[in-house]
Amino acid sequence: MNDEPSTEPYPDLEVGPNEDSAVGVAGIMHAMLPALDDMGIGRTAKLSLKINQDGGFDCMSCAWADPSEHRHTLEFCENGMKAVTWEATPVTVPTSFWAEHSLTSLLDKGEYWLGQQGRLVEPVYKPAGSDHYEPISWDAAFALVGERLRALESPDRAAFYTSGRVSNEAAFLYQLFVRALGTNNLPDCSNMCHESSGTALTASIGVGKATVVYDDFEQADLIIVMGQNPGTNHPRMLGALEAQKRRGGRIVAVNVLPEAGLIRYKNPQRPRGIVGKGTKLADQFIQIRSGGDMALLQAVSKRVLDAEDAAPGTVLDHEFLAAHTEGLDAFRAHLADLDEAEVLLATGITSQEIDELADAYLAADRVIVTWAMGLTQQKKSVDTIKEIVNLLLLRGNMGKPGAGAAPIRGHSNVQGDRTMGIWEQMPERFLAALEAEFGFPVPRGHGRDAIKTVQGLRDGSIEVFIAMAGNFVAAISDTDASEQAMRRAKLTVQVSTKLNRSHVVTGEEALILPVLGRTEIDLQGGVPQFVSVEDTVCSVHGSHGAIPPVAPGLLSEVAVVCRMAEATLGGRGASAGERIETPDPRASIPWTDFECDYDLIRERISRVVPGFEHYNDDVRRKNGFELPISPRVRRFDTPSGKAQITVNELEHLERPAGRLILQTLRSHDQFNTTIYSLNDRYRGIKKGRDVVFVHPDDLAELGLADGQRVDVVSEWPGQPDRVLRAQRLVAYPTARGCAAAYYPEANVLVPLESAADGSNTPVSKAVIVRLEPVAGA
Ligand SMILES: Nc1nc2c(c(=O)[nH]1)N[C@H]1C(S)=C(S)[C@@H](COP(=O)(O)OP(=O)(O)OC[C@H]3O[C@@H](n4cnc5c(=O)[nH]c(N)nc54)[C@H](O)[C@@H]3O)O[C@H]1N2
Ligand SMILES: Nc1nc2c(c(=O)[nH]1)N[C@H]1C(S)=C(S)[C@@H](COP(=O)(O)OP(=O)(O)OC[C@H]3O[C@@H](n4cnc5c(=O)[nH]c(N)nc54)[C@H](O)[C@@H]3O)O[C@H]1N2
Ligand code: SF4
Ligand SMILES: [Mo]
C-alpha cells in the first residue's frame, strides 16, 4: 500500500437536510446555468435541440431509453445536460500545460480539477524515465503503439480496456483489431457494472439483456425498483414511472437509502411538476439492509408459493410454467425450508413489509423488476438476480406486455459494446461468425476481465495496457494496489476526451490520444459520418454530431482504432512478432476504407452480429430499430430451451460487532469518476465529497457524533488495513448497520479480492469497515 491514500480536503463543506423529491424546475436550472456559463448561448441552444432527437446525437450519459414516439422538443434531463456541457466546453488544454505540469505534481490533483482543464486536443507522449508528457505527431504515436505491441512475446501480454461510451462502430473495429492481433484480453467497464446481470440472466433465460421494451414500463401494473437511484443516474426513467403511476400502476422501491427520486417526482415537462408537489412515486418503500435482497426475493417467492398452496391452480401461471420453464419442483422444495428469522435478519425489515410486497405482486398481472448497482456489486449478485427471474417466472411475468426483467444499464452504449464483441469471453457463435467474415483464426480461450487485468499488471504478465475511453485506475477497486500495478506496465495508452487520473498513473511509457466527442461533427473526407448505440432496452439508433470539433486535428475513435490497427497489423503478424505471410487475411483488413466510410463498418457488422442484418437501412429509420430478444417472445436460448427456475443457497453478509457495511455510490453531480461539481443536492451535501453517511443510532452506538471526522478503515483477512482518511460523519437515514461514501474516492477501501461469485465484479456495495475518530478532530 501507499503510505497516504489521497483524498481532497474540502474546507467549505456544508451539510444540510436531504430532500424527498427529484427534478422539477430546480433541476433544469441546475443544468442550464452552468451550460450557459461554460458553453455560451449559441452552443447551448444548438445542443439542447439536438440531444436525443432523431438525426441528433445520443445523450452520452446513461443508457436510459428514449420514448419510441412523441419526443419533446427538449428531450433530456439535468444530468444529461451536465454530461453535454462537460464534453462540449470550448476550453482546451494548452500545449504549455504539459511542460508546466509534471506527472508528480498532477498526482495531487483530484478528478474535479483534472476535468476542469478542458478538452484534450493533441496527442502527447511520456517517454520512459520522464516526468512529463510532450506533444507527439499522430503518426509517431501510432508507430510507437505498433512497435510495442509487435515486440511482445505474445499478444496475451497486452490488455485492451473499453468504457461504455464507445460507439458500436468503434467498438466493433476495436475488438476486431484485438482479436486479429491474437488475444481476447478485452476487459471493460461492464466487468465492474452489470456483469452479474449478464451472467445471471444468460444462465436463467439465455440472454443477458432486458426482456422489456420502452412502452412496457407504462403498461406495468407493478414496477419493483431495486438497488437503483434513478433520480440521479437515470433521471428520465422517472418520467416513465410517472406515466405508469398515472395509469394506475404501483411502484415498490427497495433500497438502503431513501433516495429522493424514488419518493416523489416533479416533472418539468408538466405544469404540476413546475408548481405543485409532483407525483408520489413509490407506494411502498422497503428500506433494506445492504445485501438483503436475495433473502427478500426468496421470501416473496415463498409467499407466492404458499398462496398457490392455499388456492391451488389460481396463483401460478401453470400454462407458462409447464411450457417454458423447468426447475419449479426443486425451487418449491428448497423454499419450503426458508427460515423467516434469517430473512428478517438479512433484510432488517418486518414480515408485514414482505407480506405487503407479496400482496402487491399477487395483485398484479404485469410486473417489471428493474435493478442496478445496489444488486450487481454484491458478493451474491448473480444468485440474487437469478431470484428476480424466479419470482417473475412464477406468474409468467416475461414475454408479455408490461412485464419482465430490466437491468438498467450504466453508460450510454455499454450494452452496444458488448453486442459488438467487447467481452473477454464472447460466445463461440460470435467468434465463429467473425472468423468466417474476416478469414483469420480468431482466438478462442477466455481473455482477462478487469480484475484479472490488474492481477496481470501486478505480476508482470500484462505489459501493455490500452484504454478506449474510461478511467480505469480510478474505476477499478483497490486504488492503491491497482495504481501500483499500472505503474509496472511498459506502455499505457489512453484514448480520451478529457484528463483524468488514468493519464497521471502510467506505465513506463505513456500516450494520450485525444478524440472527438459525441456532440461533434465527424467529417471524413468532407463527408459527415454518424455512429450508433444501443440503449438499455436493446433499441439501436444513430448519433450525429451537432457542433464543429473543439479543435482541428482531433481524430474520431474509429480513426484512432483504424490507424492503431494499421500500424500494428499492416503486413505483420499475430503472435510472437512474426511477419504474417501474405496473403494473411489480417494484413488485408481494409482499415483505411473503414475510417473513411462508417457504412462499410456497419456492412461488416451486419454479417457478423444477429439482429443487424439490415443495419445501414435500419439505423436510418426514424428512431432506429429494436433488436430481437428471445424471451420477449417466450423463447429461451438455454441449453434445454426452457427458462431456468434456479435454486440458490441463501447467504447474507454478517456484520462483525462494531463494524458497518459500507456502500460506495454516486453523488448527484458526477458521472462515475467524472466530477461535475462538489454538490449532492438531494442528500444535502454542498461543496465537498469527504463525507460518510451513517445512521444516527449507529453513530450513537459507536460513540460517534455527526460532524466528527473519522478514518474509514476496511479490513480484509491477512492483509493490511485500507484507509480513507478524515471523512466527516453525516447522520443520515440509511438502513441500520449500513454506511455510504462516494465512489471513486472510496475505491481505496474495496479489496481487489472482494468480487462477486460467478461474475468477478468488485463488491463495491458491501465493504466491512470500522470508523476511527481522527485525533483532535
Ligand atoms: N448522473 C449520472 N448518471 C449515471 C452515472 C453517474 O455516475 N452519474 N453512472 C452510470 C453508470 S455507469 C451506472 S452503472 C448507473 C448506476 O446507477 P445506480 O445503480 O443507481 O448507481 P449508484 O449510485 O451506485 O446507486 C446504487 C443504489 O443502490 C442502493 N443500494 C446499495 N446497496 C444496496 C443493496 O444491498 N440493496 C438494495 N436494494 N439497494 C442498495 C444505493 O442506496 C443506491 O441508491 O448509472 C449510470 N448513470
Ligand atoms: N467503488 C466503486 N467503483 C466503481 C463503481 C461503484 O459504484 N463503486 N461503479 C463501477 C461502474 S458501474 C462503472 S461503469 C465503472 C466506470 O468506469 P469507466 O467507464 O472506466 O469510468 P468513467 O468515469 O465513466 O470514464 C470517464 C472518462 O472517459 C473519458 N471519456 C468520456 N467521454 C469520452 C468519449 O466520448 N470518448 C473517449 N474516448 N473517452 C471519453 C474521459 O476521459 C473521462 O475522464 O466504474 C466502476 N467502479
Ligand atoms: S436519462 Fe440518461 S440518457 Fe436520458 S437525458 Fe438523462 S442522462 Fe441522458
Ligand atoms: Mo456502470
CA atoms of 191 and 741, how far apart (whole Å): 21
CA atoms of 111 and 114, how far apart (whole Å): 5
3 state SS for 495-522: EECECCHHHHCCCCEEEEEEECCCCECE
pLDDT reading at 69 higher than 80 = no
Spatial CB neighbours of 315, under 8 Å, sequence gap ≥ 6: 304, 307, 308, 362, 395
pLDDT reading at 207 higher than 50 = yes
pLDDT reading at 530 higher than 90 = yes
In which band, very low, low, confident or very high, does the pLDDT at 73 lie, cut at 50, 70 and 90?
Answer: low
Overall residue count recorded for the chain in this entry: 777
As for ligand 1, residues whose beta carbon falls within 6 Å of it are 61-62, 79, 193, 226-229, 232-234, 254-257, 259, 288, 290-291, 293, 372-374, 378, 410-411, 663, 665-666, 670-672, 765
Spacing, Cα 325 to ligand 2 middle (Å): 37
E-assigned strand segments in 448-563: 464-468, 491-496, 509-514, 522-524, 527-529, 531-534, 539-543
Tell me if residue 282 falls in helix, strand or coil: coil
Q: What is the CB neighbour count within 10 angstroms for residue 405?
A: 27
C-beta separation of 346 from 652 below 8 A: yes
Nearest to 31 by CA among 674, 688, 673, 668: 668
Nearest to 284 by CA among 343, 368, 361, 345: 361
- Which residues surround the ion ligand 4 when the cut-off is CB under 5 Å? 193, 410
As a whole number, the mean pLDDT across the chain is 93
User: Which one of 52, 53, 79 would you pick to mutate in the ligand 3 pocket, going by the greatest count of ligand atoms within 8 A of its CB?
Assistant: 79
Spacing, Cα 411 to ligand 3 middle (Å): 10
pLDDT reading at 399 higher than 80 = yes
Q: Provide the pLDDT for residue 55.
A: 87
In which band, very low, low, confident or very high, does the pLDDT at 32 lie, cut at 50, 70 and 90?
Answer: confident
Q: Provide the pLDDT for residue 4.
A: 43
Q: How far is the CA of 429 from the CAs of 48, 98, 538, in angstroms?
A: 41, 46, 19
- Rounded to the nearest 10°, the torsion over CA 283, 288, 291, 295 is -80
Q: Provide the pLDDT for residue 276.
A: 65
3 state SS for 194-208: CHHHHHHHHHHHCCC
Spacing, Cα 744 to ligand 3 middle (Å): 21
C-beta separation of 171 from 418 below 8 A: no
Q: Average pLDDT, stretch 277-289?
A: 90
Task: Tell me the β-bridge partners of 14.
Answer: 686
User: Which one of 113, 160, 173, 192 would you pick to mutate in the ligand 2 pocket, going by the greatest count of ligand atoms within 8 A of its CB?
Assistant: 192
CA atoms of 79 and 754, how far apart (whole Å): 31
C-beta separation of 376 from 631 below 8 A: no
Q: Provide the pLDDT for residue 275.
A: 56
Q: Provide the pLDDT for residue 1.
A: 35
CA 705 to chain centroid, in Å, comes to: 34
User: Which one of 195, 765, 768 would you pick to mutate in the ligand 1 pocket, going by the greatest count of ligand atoms within 8 A of its CB?
Assistant: 765
User: pLDDT per residue over 149-182, tens digit each?
Assistant: 999 999 999 999 999 999 999 999 999 999 999 9
Q: Average pLDDT, stretch 482-493?
A: 98
Q: Average pLDDT, stretch 572-592?
A: 66
Q: Average pLDDT, stretch 211-234?
A: 97
Q: Provide the pLDDT for residue 156.
A: 98
Q: Answer yes or no: pTM beyond 0.85.
A: yes
In which band, very low, low, confident or very high, does the pLDDT at 573 lie, cut at 50, 70 and 90?
Answer: very low
Q: Average pLDDT, stretch 497-521?
A: 98
User: pLDDT per residue over 687-737, tens digit each?
Assistant: 999 999 999 999 999 999 999 999 999 999 999 999 999 999 999 999 999
Nearest to 93 by CA among 487, 471, 474, 496: 496
Give the percent of the chain with pLDDT over 70. Answer: 94
Spacing, Cα 266 to ligand 1 middle (Å): 20
Q: Provide the pLDDT for residue 5.
A: 41
Q: What is the CB neighbour count within 10 angstroms for residue 131?
A: 11
Spacing, Cα 373 to ligand 1 middle (Å): 5
| Full set of structural domains in the chain with CATH | 22-88 (no CATH), 119-189+413-613 (3.40.50.740), 196-407 (3.40.228.10), 657-773 (2.40.40.20)
CA atoms of 276 and 246, how far apart (whole Å): 16
Q: Whose CA is nearest to atom 12 of ligand 1?
A: 410
pLDDT reading at 419 higher than 60 = yes
Q: Average pLDDT, stretch 607-623?
A: 96
In sequence order, which ranges of 325-448 are alpha helices (DSSP H)?
A: 328-336, 340-347, 351-363, 373-376, 381-394, 414-419, 428-438
Q: What is the CB neighbour count within 10 angstroms for residue 548?
A: 10
Q: List the helix and strand counts (H, then E) for the chain.
A: 31, 31
User: For helices 479-487 and 450-459, what crossing angle results, to 10°?
Assistant: 50
Q: Average pLDDT, stretch 370-385?
A: 98
C-beta separation of 141 from 125 below 8 A: yes
Phi, psi dihedral angles at 371 (to 5 degrees): -160, 165
Which carries the bigger pLDDT value, residue 722 or residue 271?
A: 722
In sequence order, which ranges of 286-350 are alpha helices (DSSP H)?
A: 293-310, 318-324, 328-336, 340-347
For residue 145, which amino acid is it?
A: V
Spacing, Cα 342 to ligand 1 middle (Å): 26
